[in-house]
Amino acid sequence: MRVFHTAAIAAFCIVLAACSKGEEKSESGSTPVAAVAAAPSDTEKAALLAALPAPYNAGDLANGQRKFALCRSCHTIAEGGPALTGPNLYGVFGRPSGAVADYAYSPALKAAGFVWDGEHLDKWLADPRGFMPGTKMAFAGLKDPKDRVDLIAYLKVETGFKPAP
């Protein structure tokens, strides 16, 4: 049942993400249809998870998805998704801090001068205001280290991260 539930949620998220990308014409050119990107299969997600560096390769994606529910009201993760209260997180790994052009970051984050990776995100998720005094992020933090590993693994799998070969 849990696999079905996860698959149903993933399908729903794909449909929602497609809606934000605009409309395309059907083959007849008359009826608009939503553009739907192919989501990675469970097999592809498992392979990507296994290719992640430790400790993320042992992450629990289902728990990471549940923990992302704490982030969902402020962040989107779909490619091309909108910024909400926080920036879209697609492509966050390897991106310089404060670098999304259409998002108004706090001066502290704009001046931070680091590139997002698992280590920085782990410290951020543990205590955003302690890690980055002056941030406007109101999230209190995710105290359990295992939950942070699972969330980071989930984000790596869902936001276009490509591990080094």
Residues 16 and 70 in one domain: no
Q: Are 121 and 145 in contact (CB under 8 A)?
A: no
- Provide the domain count of the chain: 2
Angle subtended at Cα 151 by Cα 149 and Cα 157, rounded to the nearest 5 degrees: 100
pLDDT of residue 116: 97
- pTM value is 0.76
Residues 110 and 79 in one domain: yes
What mean pLDDT do residues 30-40 have? 49
The answer on pLDDT for 126 being more than 70 is yes
Residues 48 and 119 in one domain: yes
Residues 80 and 141 in one domain: yes
Residues 109 and 32 in one domain: no
- 114: closest CA among 94, 134, 97? 97
Whether residue 92 is contained in a domain is answered as yes
Whether residue 164 is contained in a domain is answered as no
Per-residue confidence band for 102, with pLDDT thresholds at 50, 70 and 90: confident
Whether residue 165 is contained in a domain is answered as no
